[in-house]
Amino acid sequence: MHLQLHTTSPEETEAYGARLARVLQPRTIVGLVGDLGAGKTCFVRGLATGLGIAPDEVHSPTFTLIAEYPGGRLPLYHIDLYRLEGAAIEELGLEEYLFGAGVSAIEWFRFLPSELMPEYMLVTIAFGAGDDERVLTFSARGERYEHILRALMSSRSSEET
């Protein structure tokens, strides 16, 4: 099950993040795939907004792989695996987040071994024709995430702020 959307500005990509966040439930995994500068962190800022967390706090962590943002409707765990060294993954204690109460938003999601989690929402961000154009593809893996994706599809854009 897929949903594909085009955006023409960072604000628009963020707005879709916020819209997804509003239909998320506890213990959800949002995997982000896309090249450097595609807009993964931008999307996570939108997730923060949609959860009621100040989006300005969210940026690409340079030294930490995991940043935790409490205080919203659900806690947000922003995980960026870009600097992950191959063998270190077991040492991160990721399970605490992935199976915790909040929303795990994971940049460079492909660095995770696929057997670690069978179900998740995959958000792929690709560059479009123009500098500010992006193509967002939402793919639900597992029944629970298909339900979330259906909720996203039927959420009205007027709910965006």
Residues in the site for Mg ion, rule: CB under 5 A? Answer: 40-41, 60, 107
Among 17, 31, 39, 102, binds ligand ATP (CB under 6 A): 39
| Cα 120 to Cα 114: distance, rounded to the nearest angstrom | 11
Does position 124 bind ligand ATP by CB under 6 A? no
Tokens of 44: 């996570």
Opening angle at CA 77, ends 76 and 81, nearest 5 = 145
Q: Which one, of 91, 64, 89, 90, lies nearest residue 79 by Cα?
A: 64
CB of 51 to Mg ion, least distance (A): 18
* 129 belongs to the binding site for ligand ATP (CB under 6 A): no
34 makes contact, choosing from ligand ATP, Mg ion, none, with CB < 5 to 8 Å by partner type, with ligand ATP
Q: How far is CA 66 from the centre of its chain?
A: 13
Amino acid at 6: H
Contact between residue 13 and residue 86 where contact means Cβ atoms under 8 Å apart: no
Q: Which is closer to ligand ATP, CB of 8 or CB of 25?
A: 8
Q: Output 109 or 120, the one with its CB closest to ligand ATP.
A: 109
Choose from Mg ion, ligand ATP, none: what does 36 bind? Cβ within 5-8 Å by kind.
Answer: ligand ATP
Of 33, 107, 109, 120, the one binding ligand ATP by CB under 6 A: 107
Q: Letter for the amino acid at 122?
A: L
Q: Does 13 bind ligand ATP (CB under 6 A)?
A: yes
